Structure formats: C-alpha cells, structure tokens
Structure 1
C-alpha cells in the first residue's frame, strides 16, 4: 500500500570542473530544492539539477547523477552507471559526530587521494585472495642459493614461469630478496611500507603477495604487526598502479592519528587537494573511526550498494561536483477541527 511520504532533494553544485571535486568552503554554489513522491532520476545539465520520472538517453548535454526507486513507504537510491566519475560517496562531515566506523573493504576519498581498508585487527580473513601453489615431485634446486635442501617452514616453490634449473626458489631466499625492495618507515603509531609490484626479474611474471603451500598460507611481504588493535590502509593511486603503499596503524583505546598534507601528520598525503589537517583515525569502543576535520574537499566513503531511505531518514552524498541531500518526509496536515456541540 502506497503512503504519502515524499523525498526532498536538495542539491548544491560547484560550478568548477576540477577532478570531480566539490569545494566545501565555496560560496558561489548553485542551490536547488525539489520534491518527488515516486520513482525518478536526478540529472544535471550544466550546473543545474532536475528530476525526471523516467530514465532517458535522449536528454542532450545532461548527466544522470542518481536514480531513486519508490516501493511502499521506502525510497531506494542507487548509482546510475558504472562510471567512476559519477560514483556515489557519503559525506562523512554530515554524519553524526562527523565520523564513520571503518570496515574492511571500505574505500575513502580525501580530496583526490584514495585509501582502501585492507585489513582490521585480525589474521588473514576469509575472502582474501592468494595463489595456490601445487607441490611438484622430482629434483629441485634453489635458483638463488643452489641448495637442494628444504623444510616445511622453508619449502622450494615455483611462483613464476621460469623453468629448468631456474624453476624453484626457497621461500626464505625469495622473501629476503624482495625485502630489499620494500621501503619502510615508522612515525608514531603508523608504519609505512612502500614498494613496486613484486615481479620475477627473469621471466617478468608478477609474484603473489601471499600464497598457499600444502595448506599453509605464506606471505612474501614481511609486516611487523602491532600488538595493539590495528588497521591496514592501502593507498590506491590510479596514475601509479604499480606503486604499492600500505599504512599499518596500531592504536589503543582513545588514541588517534592524523591524516593530511601537514608535516605533523602520521599519514602524509602530498596532493594539494588534501588539507593540512584533513582527517583523523581514532580507536574507541573496540572500533576504528575516521573523522573529517572541516577539510576543503571533504572526507568521503564510497557507496557500494543501494541505499534504502525510510521516513525520517536523511543522507548527504557527493556525486562528481554536486552535493545531494535526501530527506524522506510526510506532508504536513492541519488537525481536523472538532465539532462543538451545544450544551443542553
């Protein structure tokens, strides 16, 4: 049964095309408020947004920002297409406490920089991908140390396309060789690991970061895990896909670290779109939270599934250079007047 709820759609558009950013300090914004009580699509033409009751490919010089479905008393918000340019991002500064509880797999955008949560305070999780390396019978010799000896903790493995006498290598020999290619540094409660893709220098085959051998999971990247609860962030650089950076953050209750362009930040992101003190990560109540610090270009978390909205719901998201606030409301109704009966 359909109810009389409707969706209030408030949009703010920054009139500058700058790397899909929205300036949260700007004053010259294009502001519009619209309402819908049915399924619709939110479009932007130039700098102005409008809604249409149905998707259309015939609208010239327009882009679709989000689509909104209506079922009974619920609205469902979803991304209109696969293009990362029009990805939906939740604006963390407008969440309660300007903070968000971080989860494995979350992707965060700070200005033009992107960070992904790789792991939170546990061993290798189910769903983590690794290569399965079969045991191969026959004579084996390590191509680095030329030894035929091996053990359960230091097996001879074949992880690339090399063949013949170059086929096998000790796990420890390979790990020590790759260790020399990893740059590490520590600042406060953050350890940073930086390297280029692991590849075999002979056959140029990419090497897995971790693999399974005889039921045991082995990692080629040696990380000193904190004894405290920790979170691992991966720096995602679209323009440098072969450059790998991990931030290992170990925090105790009520501790925090800063992220920004400033020299006093434990995680320093050098892009000019990142504020000097952009955001912070804190550990409280057995969970990690990221909190925006009134940054110029915002701290955002990617939306990977549809967003359901019911009566009273309010959410603010950024799509490209447009800020969208959605509020589910019910029309205001005046109370019906009571009929006054004369006294007998």
Structure 2
C-alpha cells in the first residue's frame, strides 16, 4: 500500500476562494499519511489532519483519505467536497464535466461534431422521441399555448420536457414561434452566447432540444448555422449558454483578452487563460499559465495509483498528493548489506 506525501500550499489572502499561482505570500504544510483521516481547516489559516474522522462545527473539511482494497482513495463514496483537479497538462473533457476559470464555473452540456445543437442529454432526447411518436394523432391531448387539439405530421403535439398533466403537450408551430420570439443570442466568430432562459421550459426549466425526430421527419425548433465540431457550455451563475464552434480550427483559446478566440469578460480570467484542443474527435483543455489556474471538478472518489502524483485544489489551498510505494524486502536487504 505504501504511504502518501501530502503537501498543502495555502494562499494567505482570502480572495474569492482562489489560489494565486504568481504570489509569494503562501504557507506550506507537509504530511506523511499511512492511515485514513480527514484534512480540515480551522479558521482562516490552520490546516490539520484528523485521524479520528470527526467532523466538528466551525471546522471546514478540505477532503478525506480512506483505504479501499489496499489503495488510498480521495473523497467519500457518496459525497465529494469542493475539490478540483488542477489542469497541469492536457486533460480530456467529457459531457457533464465542470470547469472553473478563476471565479467562472462552466458545465459541459455536450460535445459534438454534428451540425445540430444539443442542449439536452442524448438519453433524454431518446425518451422525448418516444413521447413525440405517441402524441402525433392523439386528439385528446391539448396544446398548452393555443389550447387546440388538432395535429398532423407537419405540426404534431409534442412532449419535450418534464411537464405533465394539462401542460404536457405543445404544438410544434406554437413552440417554435414562442422560442423565436424570446430567444436572445449574441454571436462572435467562434462563440454564440444564448440566454439559457430563452431555451428552457418556463415551468419545469428543462432545456428544449434544438431538433426533434418524429420517426418520419426531422423538425427544427432552433439551431445555429455552420456548426461543425462544437462544445456547449453552461454558465450556471449568469444563466447563459456558450456554444464554441471550432469551424476549421483544432484549437480555440479562451480568455478576457482580445487575442483569444473566445473572449469572456471576467477579471479573474487571464488574457489567454486556456485552450480547447480537438484531437481524434476528443476534446482536451490545456491551461496557458493562467494566474488562477484551470480546474476540473472532482465529482467522484479518486483512487491514487502506485507512484502517482495528483494535483488538487480546494478553495485557496493547492494540494499535491504523491504516492510512495513500500520498498520490497529484497531492496531493503540490499540497502542493509551496503
């Protein structure tokens, strides 16, 4: 099993729970761990390792260390604290990942090379298709906008969200007209910013799909032109959707400076903060030596492999976890003979 060498570097300035990689005002603490416990912070500065696994009032938990099948594991099985992986080198990004750039937190809604915009999960779209087919000619269903019952193949009654009862169905033409009237989009060369409220159901807050397959035809509700390989990000705090369209590029830079392909106006984002890179139809991010770093949220427990070095961040503390394997007996014997 070996042991863990944990080095915690804490920035002395409590600034939006960020860590300034360019500052020299920080404190370093190092621990040698060979048993389960919880890393905590008492007050503003003091970090300590609690072997009693006790969670006390007024003490913030940074992360816990447990042992499972002879391996060290970071994080609980059911709950992960506010813990982020530092993007030191290229890191692959997948759907549902959460990325942090300074104070800006973005969730990856979809990654696609199709000419269609997907804001929903593909599993949800499949279930919505079934609802569409079931509602084509059921005249007992009622459109919640026009209150009409008539429908046909070009204007079916659709069920595209989690609403039920009298608000479950809506005409295709009615919904398309409603979306067109409220949709707000701001477009630049490589990025389209959409108001998230304008493409959500106003009742259940589900995202509407951009296109609907009815089994016999394809109906477009809304879409963006000239989409190629693209990634859809949700800015949860500002309730906006960012559609990054690579067009003929394989790399898109993101930052607050004019030199970046995609500009985000946020003071804690560097001028060129990170790059999205497409390689073999997969998406990667690469930090560009930004001031506050590029982080990927740890959403499930993480096993520490043999001799692995893992870089994490919790608030204004950067954490380096290094596994040190236990020397084999023959190696110990050779060292003794020498």
- Smaller-chain TM-score bracket: 0.7 to 0.9
Greater mean alpha carbon deviation, residues 180-189 or residues 25-34: 180-189
Task: Give the whole-Å Cα distance in 2 for the aligned partners of 1:139 and 1:291.
Answer: 50
Q: Could you say what the CA RMSD is over the residues aligned between the two structures, in angstroms?
A: 3.6
| TM-score, normalised relative to structure 2 | 0.79
Q: Is the 8 A contact 1:197 1:206 kept in 2?
A: no
Q: Is the 8 A contact 1:317 1:323 kept in 2?
A: yes
Q: 1:220 to 1:115 in 2, by over 3 A?
A: farther
Alignment match, 1:324: 319
Q: Is the 8 A contact 2:5 2:31 kept in 1?
A: yes
Task: Give the whole-Å Cα distance in 1 for the aligned partners of 2:243 and 2:323.
Answer: 39
Task: Give the whole-Å Cα distance in 1 for the aligned partners of 2:169 and 2:182.
Answer: 20
Q: Give yes or no for the alignment of 1:42 onto 2:44.
A: no
Task: Give the whole-Å Cα distance in 2 for the aligned partners of 1:233 and 1:8.
Answer: 36
- Which of 1, 4, 9 is the equivalent residue of 1:7? 4
| Residue correspondence of structure 1 range 1-344 to structure 2 within 5 A | 3=1, 5-45=2-42, 46-58=44-56, 61-71=58-68, 73-78=70-75, 86-92=81-87, 94=88, 98-121=89-112, 126-128=122-124, 132=131, 135=135, 136-138=138-140, 150-157=151-158, 170-197=171-198, 205-206=203-204, 208-210=206-208, 222-224=222-224, 226=226, 228-237=228-237, 240=238, 243-252=239-248, 255-330=250-325, 333=332, 335-336=334-335, 338=337
1:148 deviates by 7.5
SS at match of 2:334: coil
1:120 deviates by 1.4
Greater mean alpha carbon deviation, residues 123-132 or residues 110-119: 123-132
Deviation digits for residues 239-293 of structure 1 (CA, Å, limit 9, x no counterpart): x4xx3323242354x6211211123433322221111211111212321111111
Kindly tell me the number of residue pairs found equivalent between the two proteins. Answer: 318
Gaps of 5+ in 1: 340-344
| TM-score, normalised relative to structure 1 | 0.77
| Higher CA-based Rg | 1
Task: Give the whole-Å Cα distance in 2 for the aligned partners of 1:20 and 1:80.
Answer: 25
More helix by share: 2
Q: 1:311 to 1:73 in 2, by over 3 A?
A: farther
1:184 deviates by 2.6
